[in-house]
Amino acid sequence: MNTIEKLALQNSVNMDNSNLLFLNQLVHLRHQHIRDIVSDYIHVAYRMEHVATVCGIDFINDTKANNFNAVWYSLESIIKPIILITNNIELKEGFEKLIPLLKKKVKAVILLDNKNGLSSVFFDYVERVYKAHHIEHAVELAYTMGISGDAVLFSLAGGDKHNDDYRQKGEVFSAAVKRL
């Protein structure tokens, strides 16, 4: 049995000082270190997939993030200012957990065109909200408004009711980025 398993079997009353010190050090690991370690071992297509860096702007394909929890992780893990390309999301359960990250990290949102028009949900939390007619237009718009040090995150954010075509949308995004 390894040390982690032993610690899991003990309750906090029976832990000695060395175990408490070990746990304290685990808790204080920096988020960046965890991301670096995990990214070395795990690569999933269409999930936080780095497509390219163009003029200092990172383009990230996250079309597999099909719920608000996945999008929360994506926003949380990006340290740079974010331009978010997404669907027109309606305010629904789960969206509220994105609000602090939208306010803190997202400098602009580009909504993919749909027949319902722009959603007002982003206007309350992000200063700049734009509409794009298609994915290629969204990539061009993000590129023109982005500056070196920004990240463009393409995430369907749970707003796509037909998310089974995330691969196709991800391929269109990647191809558009590579044409910049």
Q: Which two tokens stand for residue 85?
A: 């390309």
CA distance 47 to 120: 27
Domain ranges within the chain, ordered by starting residue: 3-38, 44-178
b/e per residue 30-55 (b: at least 16 CB within 10 A): eeeeeeeeeeeeeeeebbbbebeebe
Quote the crossing angle between the two packed helices 135-145 and 166-178, to the nearest 10°: 50
CA distance 154 to 83: 9
Report pLDDT digits (tens) over 114-124: 656 666 678 88
What end-to-end distance do the CA atoms of the chain give, in Å? 53
Q: Which residue has the tokens 């400098």?
A: 107
Report pLDDT digits (tens) over 26-79: 555 555 555 555 554 455 678 889 999 999 999 999 998 878 888 899 999 999
pTM (2 d.p.): 0.73
Q: Which two tokens stand for residue 141?
A: 């718009």
The CATH class that applies to domain 44-178 reads alpha beta
Beta strands 151-154; 57-61: pairing state = parallel
Confidence of residue 9 (pLDDT cuts 50, 70, 90): very low
Residue type, 158: G
